[in-house]
Structure 1
């Protein structure tokens, strides 16, 4: 996971960590990415966002650089993380900005050999900035929800460059476009048949750019299958 911008102004936040010490936080997660968070391109560098970052799921996929300097174990070097989960309640809700980082991401902010020392602090003050997401060599992919059927279609949207988060999703069949509803996390649904081949039009969350993944959902699509497009922001 790369970011395409590194020298940006930062803002203060609070960071904690969860899950295994060197792990991906959770392979469930409130965005729907599942065990993909432990693999490239996420490579366990993820965060569960507090209220202001998770944004009821619309913040899923956004990329941030985080760094710490207040603790002696901090390296001061930025680490890029993706919002893939929600941190509900407690400080995650009361802090204005709260990152509950994976153990791997939290430790990555440390000096060499100091990851465990930094994690032992539990909660630290950090600096963060929003950065464009960049998934070199990858196109936007659509993972069809397991609950989809001939009269109901839902899909996870992943590997979105740029803003990372999505504000609108539409399904195109023939000459007509039908708006999908945000279901949860990075999953969108349509309460109508999708026969395929079908196109999907995405609108990015901040810049409001649009792209069309033409005929990305084939005829005979299957629940649980992932279909990669040939486009990205």
Structure 2
């Protein structure tokens, strides 16, 4: 376990205020359909260069979730296989949920040969403009930088390495179960956290439909929290989710008409 002195304040991630999401109920959609165009394999990157650091196991960000809004990462199913991205990669939260394969390179002293890890994007590494990007500002533009839980970092490198050169590649996400929709809000304001997304992993567009309405576009609030101003109470809810590779999955009647704020429901999943 690294000594506290190795924990660097420039690793501090942006921690917006989070809603409490209570996984109080799980329901599978009654009928669903999937529309696909290009698969993620057509948009996968080649191995690219970046650097990676870690934060200590005692850091509370594991339970508060971070800039993507997933809440408690263990309860949300992400565990320690997570990563925070620097500003040049974070895309203002649009990339939340995407998956990367990362391996340690070019440092025979610290790399663990033949190893790699797969992580999901759950957080943001804020820039520190008090330092130059080639000095202490590891997450300043244009740096490509990953911040990992130490449990993930130690799978590819010895912790004494601290700031390591790595190679990374965007890959498909593989998840157990369906996409999860956690509903919060009050009155006509309805917010939905979308998590456990397979395939591309990120979400670029969401529509919602009540049993007495047509399809309504939802706006991105922050991270993977989406919102709409509409009175949809006492209506069964359906969702249409589109990912960055232009694949769309529709889950009909995910939430029954007696749904309540704070509940989580499970819908159709992207094919992988």
Q: Specify if TM > 0.5.
A: yes
Q: TM-score, normalised by structure 1?
A: 0.85
Indicate if the aligned counterparts of 2:46 and 2:169 stay in contact, CA closer than 8 A. Answer: yes
In the alignment, is residue 102 of structure 1 matched against residue 102 of structure 2? no
Q: Report how far residue 69 of structure 1 moved.
A: 2.5
Runs of at least 5 residues in structure 1 that lack an aligned partner in the other structure = 111-117
In the alignment, is residue 123 of structure 1 matched against residue 156 of structure 2? no
3-state SS in 1 of match to 2:216: strand
In the alignment, is residue 27 of structure 1 matched against residue 74 of structure 2? no
Q: How many aligned residue pairs are there?
A: 216
Runs of at least 5 residues in structure 2 that lack an aligned partner in the other structure = 1-39, 129-137
Q: TM-score, normalised by structure 2?
A: 0.73
Moved over 3 A (4+): none
Q: Distance in 2 between matches of 1:165 and 1:93?
A: 23
* C-alpha RMSD of matched pairs (Å): 2.3
Indicate if the aligned counterparts of 1:19 and 1:26 stay in contact, CA closer than 8 A. Answer: no
- Give deviations 1:121-169, integer Å, cap 9, x for gaps: 221110000000011x311011113xx1231110110111111001100
Indicate if the aligned counterparts of 1:25 and 1:46 stay in contact, CA closer than 8 A. Answer: no
In the alignment, is residue 189 of structure 1 matched against residue 248 of structure 2? no
The residue that corresponds to 2:6 in the other structure is none
Higher Cα Rg, which structure: 2
The residue that corresponds to 2:182 in the other structure is 143
Q: Report how far residue 97 of structure 1 moved.
A: 1.3
The residue that corresponds to 2:238 in the other structure is 199
1:24–1:101 Cα change, 3 Å: farther
Q: Report how far residue 222 of structure 1 moved.
A: 2.0
Q: Distance in 2 between matches of 1:143 and 1:10?
A: 34
The residue that corresponds to 1:63 in the other structure is 99
Q: Report how far residue 24 of structure 1 moved.
A: 8.6
